Amino acid sequence: MLPRIVVAGNGQLGQMLQQAGAPIQLEVMPVDPNADVQLELRADDVITVEIEHWSDSVSGLQLKQHPNFRNKVALHMVIDRQRQKSLLDRLQVPTSPWLSLEGDDLQAQLESVGERVIVKRRRGGYDGRGQWRWQKGNQPEAEWAGECIAEAMIPFSHEVSLVGARNAAGEKVFYPLTCNWHQDGILRASIAGLPIPAEQQRDAEAWLGRIMDDEGYIGVMAMECFVVDGKLLVNELAPRVHNSGHWTQEGASTSQFELHLRALAGLPLITPEVSGVSVMYNLLGRNWKPEWLSVQGAHVHWYGKEIRPGRKVGHVNICRPDVPTLAESLQALGAQLDEEDSVVAEWALAQLAS
């Protein structure tokens, strides 16, 4: 008997986990962990997360206290940026220079990190929220003390991420590194399947593998990195399926959502194969447009959420066999997009050309 997978969080990640479970007869039940309702959990349910923070509500406590709540240790380490950075240091995984802001001499602490610094709230930030840019000469905010870490601003050439999965037996599989473009801290698009320097892939797999082993992690974890002079520096970890892995829904033989479920349910974990080139393009506060479906290789994933400015309401994966055909599709998609979005197609086309 396969367990039922209960997901703490009922946003798009939970929804896509549910979709991935259906064809393999895995029941996936996303729930709101902030609700004050008694959930009917079974003793053999397996609990996983799509979000990292929730309140001590009735449902929230029930989920946290369930004996099959997976990856408790990893979540504890990762949900606080100070603990997360300390973990990276302990495991000798290269990351940007940082310190925890404490006490009142913040100016000197910030200066010791660098001339340009990013201050990040230790808990609860996402999509670039809970972050401040600071540079020498600026006045620090007193409330950063005890609440934030300070990180050197990294002059990266681009950003990549690694998505991997580990099962209870310690077997691990990885996708190729994905190249990501963020704007104002929000992921606009990813591209996967272009040649990646072997050393970067090897380093990234070794580090994420070490982190997952250290935590006894089960399921999918993502690791965001900066590329500086061709070398990787880890930015942050996500103990869950990740936006930069959405292209795997159609761009890989097994998606990140299915791999996560397989690992949790004790089903075989196989190395995902990637043959073509894929672009994942986030739909931010957009209205649904049937014209997207006219683009060859485009797969639209619409989350059915209320549309608000900047909110992730869906994504389009464009998967094609090679660079020239993907470029054709991107041009066709570009023609269907308004100006604010056409920069995304331009970015992806520039990646293909480089």
Residue 218 in the binding site for ligand ADP (CB under 6 A): no
- 132 versus 303: smaller Cβ distance to ligand ADP: 132
**Cβ-contact 118, 99 below 8 angstroms:** no
In the DSSP assignment, the letter for residue 66 is: S
- 222 versus 264: smaller Cβ distance to Mg ion: 222
CB of 120 to ligand ADP, least distance (A): 6
Residue 182 in the binding site for ligand ADP (CB under 6 A): yes
- 71 versus 180: smaller Cβ distance to ligand ADP: 180
Residue 109, marked binder: no
- 120 versus 312: smaller Cβ distance to ligand ADP: 120
In the DSSP assignment, the letter for residue 95 is: B
- Pick one of ligand ADP, Mg ion, none as the site partner of residue 127 (Cβ within 5 to 8 A by kind): ligand ADP
Distance CA 16, CA 246 (A): 9
Contacts to Mg ion from residues 203-232, by CB under 5 A: 224
Distance CA 204, CA 213 (A): 14
- Only segment of 65-73, 102-110, 119-127, 239-247 that touches ligand ADP (CB under 6 A): 119-127
Strands (E), the chain: 5-8, 28-31, 46-49, 98-100, 116-121, 131-135, 148-152, 158-166, 172-174, 178-183, 186-192, 219-228, 231-238, 277-284, 298-302, 312-320
Residue 317, marked binder: no
Given phi > 0 = left and psi -120 to 50 = alpha, else beta, which region is 265? alpha
Out of 6, 118, 119, 261, the residue judged to bind ligand ADP by CB under 6 A: 118
**Of 258, 262, 256, which is closest to residue 280 (Cα–Cα)?**
256
Question: Rule CB under 6 A: which residues touch ligand ADP?
Answer: 96, 118, 120, 125-128, 151, 153-154, 159, 182, 185, 224, 235-236
Residue set of the binding site: 81, 120, 125-131, 151-154, 159, 182, 235-236
